[in-house]
Each structure stands twice: as C-alpha cells, then as structure tokens.
Amino acid sequence: MWYRANQIKIKINEDKDLIPGRLKEHAAANGAGNIEIIDWKIAKESIDARNNREITFVYTVDFEVADSSLDMPRTPDLEYKIPEHGIPEKRPVIVGMGPCGIFSALIMSQMGMRPILLERGRAIEDRVRDVALFREKGIIDPDSNVQFGEGGAGTFSDGKLTTGIRDDRITKVLEEFAAAGGGEELLYKNKPHIGTDKLRGVIKNLRSEIEKNGGEVRFGSKMTGLIVGDGKIRGVNVSSGDAEQDGIIETDDLILAVGHSARDTFSMLQAAGIDMEQKPFSIGVRIEHPQAMINKAQYKKARFAKILGAADYKLSWHCKNGRGVYTFCMCPGGEVIVASSEEGEVVTNGMSYNARDGKCANSALLVSVNTSDFDSDDPLAGVEFQRKYERLAYEKSGGYRAPETKWKDFKGSDVEDCLPGFASAALIEAMPKLGRKLKGFDSPDAVMRAVETRSSSPVRMPRNEKLMSNIEGLYPGGEGAGHAGGIVSSAVDGIRIAEAVGKRYRQIK
C-alpha cells in the first residue's frame, strides 16, 4: 500500500538517501510505529530559504509498505485516464506543432483517431540549422525560425514547465515530457525546466510517439484556407510544395494551435469569418544582469548556487499611470536572442540550456498594453501595434540585431525610442522600486535590449462550452488563440481539445 508523507526535510549538504530514515521518523511521530519501507519516490521538492544559514530541501514523499491499515494519507491516484470517446469518420487535422498541437495530437493518437498534424516550419533538426543561419548571417526563413517549426516558440527558450493554472492534466503533461527524455525530476521539482538543448530531443521523441500511435506529421505544410459549409468545417487548403500533399484535406474537426506569431494565419482566419477579438498583452525589453549578482541577492551566499542551481526571480510594480510592470520568462544562466519571424522586424526573447550555467541572467521586463492603446476596433490592431515597434527596433539597429543600452543610459537611447511613451515612463518609475525588491536589479550597468512584444497573443478567438469557435468543428487552442500562456497550460489546452473531439463522437454514437 502506498502512502504520502509531507514536510520531509533534508539539509542542502545532506544526501537524499536519508529520506527513508526521515520517513520512518515521520511515521513513528504519527503513531504508525516502526514501519518497513518497501519502496519510495519523491512526489514534490521545494526549498525553504527563510533562514539562509540553514537552507533545507522540503519533500513530499510517496512510500510503499505492506501494512494497509496505517492512519496516514494515501498516495492520491493522479494517473491520467483517457475518457470514453468515439472516433470521427474523417481524420482530425491539427495546425501547429507547439505544445498545444503536440499534446492534442498525442492524446488523439492514444485515442486511436490517427490525426494529421500540419506544421508550416521544419523538423527540429532542420529548424536548428535555419535558426543558426539566421543568428550567424541574418538570413531569415519566414516559415522556419525561432517562432515557427517543430516544438513551437518554446523550443528556443528555457523550456519552463511552471504554470499558474490548476488542472489534473498537468501530471499527464509532465509524465509525457519525462518519458520523452526530460528526466524524472520534472515530476517533482518545484520549478521544473528542460532547457532548449534537451527540449529539442524531447520534442522529437514526442513526434515519434504520435507517429507510432497512427498519427501523421507533415512538415513544410501551411494551411492557406478553410473549407466551410452550412456553418461547419469541411476541410482545409494546404500548401507544401509537394504536389501529392497540396490541395484540400477533408475533415470535420480542425484544431487551430497556430501560436502567437502566426500573423498571416490570423488575417486568413479573419477573412474566413472566424470570430476574433482584441486582447491585451505587454511590451518592453529584455534586461540582463550577471548571474552571480542574482545568486548573491537571492541566496545571500554564492556557494549555495552550486547546490540549488542558478537563482531566479519574479518581480512586479504597479505604476502611477495605471500600468503594470513585471518580469516574465526569467532565464537563469541564459542569453538574449533575436526571435524575429518576419522580414524587417526585430523582437527579443530569452533562452537557457538545461544546465543554466551561463554567466548572465535575463528576463523580459514588460509593461501592460491595453486594447485602448491600439486606436482601432480591428481585431488585428494589436498585431499592427507589435509590428510598429518591431520595425522601429530593426531600423534603429540597422538589421537583425537588438538595440542595446545600459540602464544608466536608457533615457534618450535607441532602446527607449523603440517603446511607446507610456511604456518607457513606466519602466523609469518602476526600475528603482524593483531594485529595492531585488538588490542590484536597477544597477546602472544592467543591459536592456529592445523590443519584447511576444509574451502573449494580441488576439483571442472566442469559443463555446464545447471549445468550438463560431464554426462547428473548429477548435481554437493554445497561446495563439488566447486560451493559454506557456508550455504547460498550452499542452493542457491541447489535451482538453482532444477530449472535446472524442466526446463529440461519443455523444453521436
């Protein structure tokens, strides 16, 4: 019988092999006497750093004993179970191979639906070469870049698996990532991450799992139009450069997991009559500090970083002009990259490897953007707002390089010129306040690079209780449709859509 114990503590200089002994002590303190542990595993790990002289790991541990009568909490059953479902006559089509598309395809393939997954970009091994060519020579491929291709935009980031949502499906997401090569620690770490280097192999393994279960992945295949009849989806037009795969794919179920940067697809969907609306987002810069400084500010003692890993942070401030300023997508031991997806535009992002052993830390430093800032009722006005400042960044740098300055020189710099006035005013007010929260954050030598605009989608595609848009059988999902933010929540949304498709045919049957 498996039981769960909380608050099992290990000092940072102690070995995890001490956990069974601590479990016995915990059981005895709860009246269980001297138990014989058959097996054990960590369910959750967190860090108690309230006393920096004695930082401890705090564990939730599941353990197995022969006795089924212990008066202790049982290990909860968190195993994901595929719900009852039917199989559509025509194969579902999924557009976009970010986390929403991948997990929608994965669950559908496990249901036996044999989905077709369309990705405008290239397979990860080819995409890596395209991104390298862009970074080294400034040659951009509009369909295969940091934003587009197998794995989506998150593949060239930090691979964070933290999320603010609560959903039982999160366990399924983490288990699939772990099984695909992410490592068992993803299942219990308080702030799990994979890293861009390791994530590339994980994504490839997830693709193989989809294909093994009967799914089909088509790279270089771009959805160029919808086939709609009587208010229902009937199929999609596809362009791939392959005469055998070009043309129409008939389907009754189309999952739109296109990501937040598929601007040409947004325009096509708008012209096709898909309901869309403006959505607030954020704009700002990437800010960079020495990782050693962040470690010292957070741990007090630099040596703790060797045990606890590179320190991170999360900061926010509410400004007098009503704008929120906050850090986002913090990348410990990472680097700032240019993540453009259209010609003549510059947008920044952060990226970390699994080891997070780089000398610098960076994060997005963002200011809230309201829909009233767009000066237009067009659902795609936020896209044009983004483009305006991304083009400014390209013009200021003279190419695919991010305009750069130090905080002490921010006023009047090219970086400030790449931001709307309300954003630069908010940053100027917030920086010293954030410096009080995290010592050194407002260091005069902190490096700022412009412009960060892709923290979330500027549009939302409304959907009903069946997760469909105004077109029956069309399911907008993930970050690009405005229903998620980050890898895990997007993956969960993909699972929910797969379940909705299965439920649709179970009801018909």
Q: What is the pLDDT of residue 244?
A: 76
Average pLDDT over residues 160-186: 95
Crossing angle of helices 381-397 and 263-271, rounded to 10°: 150
Architecture of domain 2-65: 2-Layer Sandwich (3.30)
Q: Is the dihedral of CA 323, 329, 331, 337 positive or negative?
A: negative
Tens-place pLDDT, residues 134-149 = 999 999 999 999 999 9
CA distance 344 to 358: 30
Tell me the average pLDDT of the chain.
95
Q: For the chain, which residues make up each domain, given as ranges?
A: 2-65, 93-277+459-508, 280-452
Report the predicted TM-score, pTM, of the whole model to 2 decimal places. Answer: 0.95
Q: What is the pLDDT of residue 265?
A: 96
Tens-place pLDDT, residues 423-470 = 999 999 999 999 999 999 999 999 999 999 999 999 999 999 999 999
DSSP for 59-76, written as a single string? EEEEEEES-S--SSPBPP
Q: What is the pLDDT of residue 507?
A: 63
* Contact status, residue 440 vs residue 297, Cβ threshold 8 Å: yes
Architecture of domain 93-277+459-508: 3-Layer(bba) Sandwich (3.50)
What 3-state class would DSSP assign to 385?
A: helix
Instruction: For residue 366, give both structure tokens.
Output: 């963002």
pLDDT higher for 508 or 207? Answer: 207
Q: What is the pLDDT of residue 509?
A: 44
Tens-place pLDDT, residues 236-260 = 999 988 777 789 999 999 999 999 9
pLDDT higher for 303 or 340? Answer: 340
CA distance 244 to 505: 30
482 has a pLDDT exceeding 60: yes
Any idea which residue has 């997007």 for tokens? Answer: 490
112 has a pLDDT exceeding 80: yes
Average pLDDT over residues 10-36: 90
Alpha helices in 160-319 (DSSP H): 169-177, 196-212, 263-271, 291-299, 305-308
pLDDT higher for 78 or 176? Answer: 176
Candidates 493, 435, 423; CA nearest to 282 is 423
User: What is the CA angle 175-180-184, rounded to 5?
Assistant: 50
CA distance 256 to 481: 8
**Given phi > 0 = left and psi -120 to 50 = alpha, else beta, which region is 376?**
beta
From residue 385, how far is each of 304, 313, 382 by CA, in Å? 43, 29, 5
In a 13 Å sphere around the CA of 244, the CA atoms on its Cβ side amount to 1
Tens-place pLDDT, residues 39-57 = 999 999 998 877 767 788 9
Any idea which residue has 């395809």 for tokens? Answer: 105
**Residues ≥6 apart with Cβ < 8 Å to 337:** 135, 146, 156, 348, 349, 350, 351
**Cis status, amide bond into 451, omega within 30 of 0:** yes
Report residue 451: phi and psi, to 5°: -130, 145
CA distance 303 to 265: 49
